[in-house]
Amino acid sequence: MGNQLTYNHADSEEVCKPQHDSAPVIRKGFFYRIKKDMILYLMLLVPTAYILVFKYGSMYGVAIAFQDYNIFQGITKSPWNNFATFIQIFKMNDFYLAVRNTLLLNFLELVVSFPAPVILAIMLNELQSVRFKKLSQTLLYLPHFLSWVIIGGIATQLFASKGMINHVIEALGGSAVPFLSDKWHWLAVYTVIGVWQSMGWGTILYLAAITSIDRELYEAVDVDGAGRLRKIWHVTLPGMKPTIFVLLILQLGKIMAISFDRPYILGNSLVMDFSDVISTYVYRIGIASGNFSVGAAVGLFQSVVCLIFVLGANFLTKKFGEQGIW
């Protein structure tokens, strides 16, 4: 019957036989990679040295929290007292007041200041005029580059008993408001100034998150007839969610940490019930009074609590199915 196709088992084995004649894979060694990216590693030396010297090297000083530290004897010769310094600070009423004020001010920062950059970024993203958008961004970023000394002077000129705002209120027939001398009014001023100073800079991260959202998603909701608010709710906010959660974890990690300059410059003796926080307490008790062991113990306690909050917030974020910081 014509030409028949025959199957040769030997030929099939030869075809299926793996080829071993290819050149062996050469594994690149550690020093090869270093030599290849030498310039990048050299650039990395400076920040690495900075972190090792000023971040890890300074941890040696934590030892004075467990000593009766004497500045003339130094760390190596000062006697150890184990946890006596911590027992001492836990018996101080002023310490608990500083902890309460730190938590209060940071909680207000979380509730008021944290959502502000999110809202501002969405508003800027919705602007149609590119020129007006760039001008608005520049004006909103500017307060971030002002030192708190300058901002404190501006706040005094505006909110003092004889300041500009009280002058306008009195000109309209009202009575002066004690913005900086009453603790509740001071708390509102402290929060508002913090929002004004930080929200423009925080907006940068959220605008970057918005620009990474796929434009096809907006086109899809346009086809469905969604309005501007629907686009924000169903496309923009979900696209920003990973960035929001990462920054929220970092913010929760700073719930017990607070800068020194802001409460110290804006505060005064009349509002100590709210303005005396952990950082000012460490300065007043630890540095100004020369009790360095107490200052180090309070700072170490603050760092441990912040670490616990970061770990807890990251754990809960992953439990809810979101992306953590590691």
Summarised one tens digit per residue, pLDDT across range 54-110 is 888 888 888 899 988 888 888 888 899 888 999 988 988 889 999 999 999 999 988
Q: How far is CA 259 from CA 75, 165, 210, 249, in A?
A: 27, 27, 30, 18
Check residue 303 and give its pLDDT. 86
Model-level pTM?
A: 0.78
Confidence (pLDDT) at 25: 53
Chain segment 52-64, per-residue pLDDT in tens = 998 888 888 888 9
Residue (of 130, 122, 262) closest to 203 by Cα position: 122
Residue 166 has pLDDT above 50, yes or no: yes
CA distances from residue 198 to 140, 259, 260 in whole angstroms, order as listed: 9, 13, 16
Closest CA relative to residue 266, chosen from 150, 177, 173, 175? 150
- Give the pLDDT band of residue 10 (cuts 50, 70, 90): very low
Instruction: Say if residues 141 and 201 touch (Cβ distance below 8 Å).
Output: yes
Contact 125, 207 (CB under 8 A): yes
Encode pLDDT of 176-211 as tens digits. 999 999 999 999 999 999 999 988 888 888 988 898
Both tokens of 143, joined, read 């307060």
Per the CB < 8 A criterion, the answer to whether 215 and 113 are in contact is no
**Does residue 2 have a pLDDT over 60?**
no
Q: Is the pLDDT of residue 255 over 80?
A: yes
Say yes or no to pLDDT of 157 above 50: yes
Cα gap 212→144, rounded to integer Å? 25
Q: Give the pLDDT of residue 256.
A: 83
Phi and psi at residue 150, to the nearest 5° = -65, -45
pLDDT of 22: 55
Query: What is the C-alpha to C-alpha distance for residues 234 and 298, in angstroms, rounded to an integer?
Result: 45
* Phi-psi domain of 115 (left: phi exceeds 0; alpha: psi -120 through 50; beta: other): alpha
* CA–CA separation, 294 and 283 (whole Å): 10
Report the C-alpha dihedral over residues 297, 300, 302, 304, rounded to 10 degrees.
-140
The pair of structure tokens assigned to 146 is 């002002």
Confidence at residue 28, expressed as pLDDT on a 0 to 100 scale: 67
Q: What's the mean per-residue pLDDT of the chain?
A: 84
Of 215, 185, 191, the residue nearest 115 (C-alpha)? 191
Residue 30 has pLDDT above 80, yes or no: no
Q: Judging by beta carbons within 10 Å of its beta carbon (0-12, 13-18, 19+), is residue 60 exposed, middle or buried?
A: exposed
Give the Cβ contact number of residue 302 at 10 Å: 20
CA distances from 7 to 3, 17, 136, 250, 286 (A): 13, 17, 78, 69, 92
Residue 24 has pLDDT above 70, yes or no: no
CA 205 to chain centre: 11
